[in-house]
Amino acid sequence: MGLTVHLLGPPRVERPDGDGHQMRSRKSWALLACLVLGERPPTRSRLAGLLYAEAQDPMRALRWGLAEIRRCLGVTLDGDPVVLGLPPDAVVDVTVLTHGAWAAAVDLPGLGADLLEGVTVRDAPAFESWLLSERRRIAAAAEAILHEAALGRLAEDDLEAASRLAVRAAAMSPLDENHQALLIRLYRLAGDDRAAEQQFAAVTALFRKELGVAPGRAVEQAMAEGRRHREVVADDASVEAIVESGAAAVAAGAVETGVRSLRTAIGLADRSGHAPSRLAARLRLAEALIHSTRGMDEEGLAVLYEAERLGLADGDPAAVARARAEIGYVDFLRARYDRSHRRLTDALTVAGGSGPIAARATTYLGAVESDRAAYASAVRLLDRAAGLARSCADPRTEAYALSMLGRVHLLTGAVGPAAEHLDAAIRLAERDHWLAFLPWPQALRGEVHLAASETAAAAAVLQQAFARACQLGDPCWEGIAARSLALTAEAAGRTAEAFALLADARRRSNRMADSYVWLDAYILDAQCELGRRHGHPNAPLWVGALRRLASRTGMREMIVRAMWHGAALGHAGDHDAARLLAGDIANPVLDALLAQDPSRYRVSAASDGASTI
């Protein structure tokens, strides 16, 4: 066995030569974690600022820590930025957890344990902020692996193993509706109706107590799941006809009817054993559940894992790529960015460099990079995705890619390119009669109008976007439009209305289990900004919520923004930590924010709009 580094739980190292040397300094373990978990090699000045700012000679203290890591691991470690030269066969548990296959990650001995458990570092407030964020992110990654592994075992028809994994995921985050829906579905599929009913009752009581609401559609649909039967054989031609009619119904807007037909088709195809029909029915149903039916992503994911397994068994790379791209899309919505990136990269590898699947996967990858604040990479990917979609005459994927490209330019302050790309996305959607998508680029276009001080134009497009979103009943589109309307109200001096609209935006965007998590952070950031500026008494609560959410998901810019808001509220060390963590985020808008003195923005609570929520 090669070099193995354990950072989950109490840290330790296993060397192939049997050397039992372990690092004595807590800061050396902390330094190793920084080197392993960074997205790119960190500079020496950043590492010194994170861990050794209080030392008399920070760079000398850093050199000592690097030397201890070299001795312990027996590896090369040098340069500026600092590059950790691990051998090819080395295993680092956190890397397996975030980037490896679920089959390997689920067997990690430290799965579910804290990162650097028992390690505390004094006199390093910036590192403490970083470590808290990373611990939350790693805990979320463990949750995601357990959920993914449960779906994988379900696809293999190992319901007992899947249930054990789903129980662990639900225990880690009991208020995650998707974990609970999966567990209940597994009990129902196994024929254990009593366990399903008990779990449903317990979840309902928990949600009412903690959230004041009943579980949503995903849990209700899981309770409606029936036990699998395999004894009847159907005619292949009939199955194919049902698949096509179901898909046509979904495309025509009769989504519930189409979904019922596709569910029936899966059962009939499984009984017939006709491989193409089994795959086609699953892929069509999954895409309908994810893209056309709100609150049903969890069932769609389970179907996609089955489609992926069948595609691999039948030697159908196009089906495998299609399934992986859609799994990656759902992980993107849930802000499981490492898992999403892995799935989408795999989809591209299988699909090749062209065609509609490659266009879609590249679009989703660009969106992932944008959410994580890797803006230059996002622009390259989304530009390429729009070109791929155009080359294969896929206007909807092109419109989506252009809308995400417009969003990147909006977030980075490039108002002209943002307007250009969003206008193009709106034209494409209108030309293709994709009215269900229009509120998204329209809401972003409204924000571009605001950034250009075109308040009247912003109000006009945003009111239309919000009305359309409400007619569609789409939580995400309603949320983004309501957020933008709140900014319009604030720009017009209607502060109380702005606070009320932001609260409404969060309620709308989060009312279903398959919400777009980045949007929740985006709305929270606006609440923090307005709350801090106007001294709202809930501002500290919003800043804490944004920090927890951004930390769990790895939204790098949102973490920095939460810290800056915290600094403006008087939290010691947050401003320095924010500047250090923003070092590799290329965003002029963020740079301008961090260049300001946050103490200038401290105001007493309960000013404009303080009693509106």
- Bridge partners (DSSP) of residue 4 are 14, 91
Q: Which two tokens stand for residue 21?
A: 């040397």
Distance (Å, whole) CA 220 – CA 294? 13
Residue ranges of the chain with per-residue pLDDT less than 50:
231, 604-613
Q: What is the 3-state secondary structure (H, E, C) of 416-467?
A: HHHHHHHHHHHHHHHHCCCCCCCHHHHHHHHHHHHHCCCHHHHHHHHHHHHH
470 CB burial (10 A radius; 0-12, 13-18, 19+): middle
The pLDDT assigned to 37 comes to 94
| pLDDT tens digit sequence for 170-187 | 999 999 999 999 999 999
pTM score, whole prediction: 0.93
Helices (H), 156-252: 159-172, 177-189, 193-210, 217-223, 236-251
Question: What phi and psi, each to the nearest 5 degrees, are found at residue 282?
Answer: -70, -45
Q: Which two tokens stand for residue 492?
A: 């017009």
CATH architecture of the domain with range 337-434: Alpha Horseshoe (1.25)
Question: What phi and psi, each to the nearest 5 degrees, are found at residue 85?
Answer: -95, 75
| pLDDT tens digit sequence for 247-289 | 888 877 788 888 999 998 998 888 888 889 999 999 999 999 9
Q: Which two tokens stand for residue 597?
A: 């003195």
- Bridge partners (DSSP) of residue 120 are none
The pLDDT assigned to 338 comes to 95
> 518: closest CA among 381, 266, 319, 333?
333
Contacts of 14 (CB under 8 A, 6+ apart): 1, 3, 4, 6
The pLDDT assigned to 609 comes to 41
Q: Indicate the domain borders of the chain.
A: 4-134, 236-315, 337-434
> 327: closest CA among 148, 141, 552, 162?
148
